[in-house]
Structure 1
Amino acid sequence: MSEDRRLDVLRAIVEDYVATREPVGSRALVERHALGVSPATIRNDMAALEESGYIAQPHTSAGRVPTDKGYRLFVDRLTTVKPMSVPERRAIGAFLEEAQDLDDVVDRAVRLIAQLTQQVAVVQYPSLRRSALRHVELVPVGARHLLVVLITDTGRVEQRTIELGADLDEVVVGQLRARLNVSAAGRRLSELPVALAELADAFGPSDAALVEAVVGVVEETLAQESEERVVLAGTAYLARGGAVDFAGSIGPVLEALEEQVVLLRLLSEMAEDNASVAVRIGRETQHEGLLETSFITSGYGDENGTSVARVGSIGPLRMDYPGTMSAVRAVARYLTRILAG
């Protein structure tokens, strides 16, 4: 059989199975799709697809369903990601642009993806380790306490309070604030040690404790690992599919989603893909609890266009891949626009 016709038959099986949740037979393909060949030819094509491992028969006398391999071929041969309509794009933009701060942006984005895809949504917070400093503010909050506020180029705000052994000199605090922003603003974590080390040379010995404390808290905050986190929404959508979407219990899937280290690992691995939208199907997730799911992600960036985190959607293998890819990519692009604005 021809390669193109085989792909057409596979595409039709995937689309019908996603739409109906029922195994697809040759008669249904003839009735629903203009494949231009006889039912006998379609049956032969399905037999060849099954032999190659792209589709499978769940039980005797049933139609066929796509396998992980079949879904992968279907996704890889998508020529374009289905664009969202103009009203959809306007609605996404308006909803996200109403956000008040980064936490609100993330919360709105995760709820939006869940609503658009009717699946679990995942939004990763911008990593401090991949962000650059936009501004550092030093605010005296008492005679010996100083509030250090770090604002990144992705809109993330981190606050730390330090206690000093002597009363604060507000003039020195102002000088330190100014020099700190000149030295560190716009630099990424890897560039900060040298810039901050030179800062102490601009102040006298009497101010060394203050400078050392502020530099220490800046470095500690930006270097910490615990800031890596993700936000989820829409887990109830998985339960609605029930036994239709998952051969076993949905419990292992939900347990896997609760393990942030699992999701962060996947997000990190998918960030290495060159495609604007990355897809992991079934066993490609390399986690026992996610074998019956697919994970679609796209990166969003800072004002320099660098990807600093990812957004995504997790659903059953039987998902609307073009629609999910479109929704995830659209939200990622709007997040980039908002954070860079």
Structure 2
Amino acid sequence: MNADDRRFEVLRAIVTDYVATHEPVASRSLVERHQFGVSSATIRNDMVALEEDGYIIQPHTSAGRVPTDKGYRLFVDRLSEIKPLSAAERRAVQTFLHGAVDLDDVLRRSVRLLAQLTRQVAVIQYPTLSRSTVRHLEVLAVTPARLMLVLITDAGRVDQRLLDLGDVITEDQVAKLRTLLNQALSGRRLAEASAAVADLPEQAPVELRDAMTRASTVLIET
């Protein structure tokens, strides 16, 4: 084992011991708990090198060391090198996620799977919707007088809304409505979407004005 590999093993031991005990980790405890096959002086030198590189810090004089954000990041980045997933595990993950129907389902499945694999509490954060852009708005006729609006963002988020019309609408009118809405929304950030659709009713053909007004109202509320 070369010096770089050994120092990573020292860092890994510091991370695991600190997570387990919530106490700064001293060189003596590292030597006692882990079999590095080198002297305690070498481990102390490795800890000095790790501290100089910003992977660990000493909270106060005479204390042991604790990992820094940089140290945690290196530890996480090399987890796959420590225990790569087997072919069977990879297939199981792909199968588990393949059945997801939308982004919400993907995240629910992912956090459950992550917790099972790590045996730890898992937390997943949604993409920031204010920065998401509209990829497509699908308009589907559920009945001649009811539409479904399906908003799809670049982050994979899908929102569905039902729209009740005051009158029946033809397939050609549905297609025209879809085209006008996508021309106004595609590529825009969600934060800008409300302003983008606010003026559409006045610009729409007379026969679509009522449907466009209702669609715009639903999208603004979304």
Q: TM-score range by the shorter chain?
A: 0.5 to 0.7
How far apart are 1:92 and its partner, in Å? 0.9
Instruction: Write the mapping of 1:125-274 to structure 2, written as runs, cut at 5 A.
Output: 127=129, 129-140=132-143, 146-152=146-152, 154=156, 156-162=158-164, 164=166, 168-171=167-170, 174-185=171-182, 187-190=186-189, 201=203, 203-204=205-206, 207-221=208-222
- Classify the secondary structure of the residue corresponding to 2:70: helix
Amino acid at match of 1:216: T
Maintained 8 Å contact 2:197/2:216:
no
The reply on whether 1:75 has 2:73 as its aligned counterpart is yes
Q: Compute the displacement of 1:195 (Å).
A: 8.2
Partner AA of 2:139 in structure 1: V
Structure 2 counterpart SS, 1:132: strand
Give, in angstroms, the shift of residue 53 of structure 1: 9.3
| One-letter amino acid of the structure 2 residue matched with residue 124 of structure 1 | Y
Structure 1 spans left out of the alignment, 5+ residues: 222-341
Change beyond 3 A, Cα 1:81–1:120 = closer
Is the 1:131–1:189 contact (alpha carbons within 8 Å) kept by the matching residues of 2?
Answer: yes
Aligned to 1:29: 31
Q: Post-superposition shift, 1:39?
A: 2.2
SS at match of 1:169: coil
Amino acid corresponding to residue 156 of structure 1 in structure 2: V
- For 2:42 and 2:74, the matched residues in 1 are separated by 25
Distance 1:16 1:203 in 2: 66
Q: TM-score, normalised by structure 2?
A: 0.63
Q: What root-mean-square deviation, in Å, do the aligned CA atoms of Structure 1 and Structure 2 show?
A: 4.5
Deviation at 1:150, TM superposition (A): 1.6
The structure having more radius of gyration, on CA atoms, is 2
Distance 1:110 1:131, change over 3 A: farther
Evaluate the alpha carbon distance shift between residue 217 and residue 194 of structure 1 in structure 2; reply closer, same or farther with a 3 A threshold: same
Q: Which deviations, in whole Å up to 9, do the C-alpha atoms of 1:276-300 show, x marking residues without a partner?
A: xxxxxxxxxxxxxxxxxxxxxxxxx
Match of 1:274 in 2: none
* 1:107 to 1:42, Cα distance in 2 relative to 1, 3 A: closer
User: Corresponding residue for 2:94?
Assistant: 93
Instruction: Report Cα offsets for 1:98-133 as digits up to 9, x if no partner.
Output: 234444333222211222232232242683843422
Q: Is the 8 A contact 1:136 1:148 kept in 2?
A: yes
Q: Is the 8 A contact 1:110 1:123 kept in 2?
A: no
RCO higher in structure (CA 8 A, sep ≥6): 1
Identity %: 24
Higher strand share: 1
What are structure 2's unaligned runs of at least 5 residues?
Answer: none
How far apart are the structure 2 equivalents of 1:97 and 1:156?
17
